[in-house]
Amino acid sequence: MANVGTDRVKRGMAEMQKGGVIMDVVNAEQAKIAEEAGAVAVMALERVPSDIRAAGGVARMADPTIVEEVMNAVSIPVMAKARIGHIVEARVLESMGVDYIDESEVLTPADEIYHLNKKDYTVPFVCGCRDLGEAARRIGEGASMLRTKGEPGTGNIVEAVRHMREVQAQVRKLVTMSSDEIMTFAKELGAPFEVLVDIKENGRLPVVNFAAGGVATPADAALMMQLGADGVFVGSGIFKSDEPAKFAKAIVEATTHFDDYELIAKVSKGIGTAMKGIEISTIAPEQRMQDRGW
């Protein structure tokens, strides 16, 4: 009776992460801090995005030793990143039993034209998006979860806000359209028609959409939840802050109670300084990670 890797099983896994925080970690010790703080999953990688940005060069899938170390350290799900279009990195991570793969623009793309055909895999995928066209293309390829791209490793929430608002606004527009307008909208967005029809019929995206790319404080996390995110990824924001354990706990609480401002004030006290942020306009266009992927 066992049917593995169905849409329901893959998308359902992401549904169970809703309202939670997924944290980037680079070793077992950080993974344990994240689990202890109440993370719903961890993303195992070699360097957090701000270090990738600082180091330059080519960013690849993490060393399997690190991924394995993290998988052995915690009982919550473990995600890992593969380069856009890198079939073998994705297959290697799948063979290791990673619970979710992020086909991520944080790493240097392996293919400048094609993303992975994610329907081929048993393991589910999460992908970044900046607007509904990108979201629908990824869903069409078989992504089981979405996240805003934001601008990773900056600690600046402005791009994640832009992307979340854009996706939400376009979903609202689609839902109010008459059926005969959808094909032209699909053409404008470069989106698969069937995915748009499905969104219109159900009134929402068929997969969960988390916020990512610039979340640095508990208030940032709560802001993204208010804008309609189903949950939050925090990359550099936790382990580049002064006191990661406290920051991690505070961000988890602010995500759960995103509309309880007294509580957010309380949890934001005495947790030290957030990571140093980067103003987006100071990043050269070719170094903007959000423009990777298509």
Partner 1 sequence: MTKIGVLGLQGAIREHVQSIEASGAEAIVIKKKEQLDEIDGLVLPGGESTTMRRLMNQYDFVTPLQQFGKQGKPIFGTCAGLILLAKEIVGQEESHLGLMDIKVERNAFGRQRESFEGKLKIKGIADDFEAVFIRAPYIVEIGQQVEELATNQGKCVAAREGHYLCSAFHPELTGDHRLMQYFVSMVKESKKHLAS
Residues with active-site annotation = 81
Toward partner 1, which CB reaches closer, 51 or 243? 243
The residue type at 206: P
- Count other C-beta atoms under 10 Å from residue 49's C-beta: 29
Q: Is 2 in the site for partner 1 (CB under 8 A)?
A: yes
Per-residue buried b or exposed e for 129-168, using 16+ beta carbons within 10 Å of the residue's own CB:
bbbbbbbbbbbbbbbbbbbbbbbbbbbbbebbbbbbebbb
Q: Which of 29, 36, 112, 194 lies at the binding interface for partner 1 (CB under 8 A)?
A: 36
Q: Which of residues 106-125 bind partner 1 (CB under 8 A)?
A: 122-124
Measure the CA–CA gap between 226 and 177, rounded to whole angstroms.
Answer: 25
Q: Is 276 in the site for partner 1 (CB under 8 A)?
A: no
Identify which range of 38-46, 145-153, 154-162, 182-190 contacts partner 1 by CB under 8 A: 38-46
Alpha helices (runs of H) in 112-260, residue ranges in sequence order = 132-141, 158-176, 182-189, 193-202, 218-226, 236-239, 244-256
Q: Which of residues 162-201 bind partner 1 (CB under 8 A)?
A: none
C-beta separation of 155 from 24 below 8 A:
no
Distance of alpha carbon 124 from the chain centroid:
13
Q: Is 252 in the site for partner 1 (CB under 8 A)?
A: yes
Q: Is 43 in the site for partner 1 (CB under 8 A)?
A: no
Q: Which of 23, 39, 191, 232 lies at the binding interface for partner 1 (CB under 8 A)?
A: 39
Q: Is 244 in the site for partner 1 (CB under 8 A)?
A: no
Q: What is the largest CA-CA distance in the chain?
A: 55
Q: Which of 1, 188, 262, 285 lies at the binding interface for partner 1 (CB under 8 A)?
A: 1
The residue type at 284: A
For the CB of residue 145, give the shortest distance to partner 1 in the complex, in Å: 12
Toward partner 1, which CB reaches closer, 139 or 182? 139
Q: Is 8 in the site for partner 1 (CB under 8 A)?
A: yes
Q: Which of 51, 68, 99, 198 lies at the binding interface for partner 1 (CB under 8 A)?
A: 99
Measure the CA–CA gap between 236 and 240, rounded to whole angstroms.
Answer: 5
The binding site for partner 1 (CB under 8 A) comprises 1-6, 8-9, 12-13, 15-20, 35-41, 75-77, 94, 97, 99-100, 122-124, 252-253, 256-257
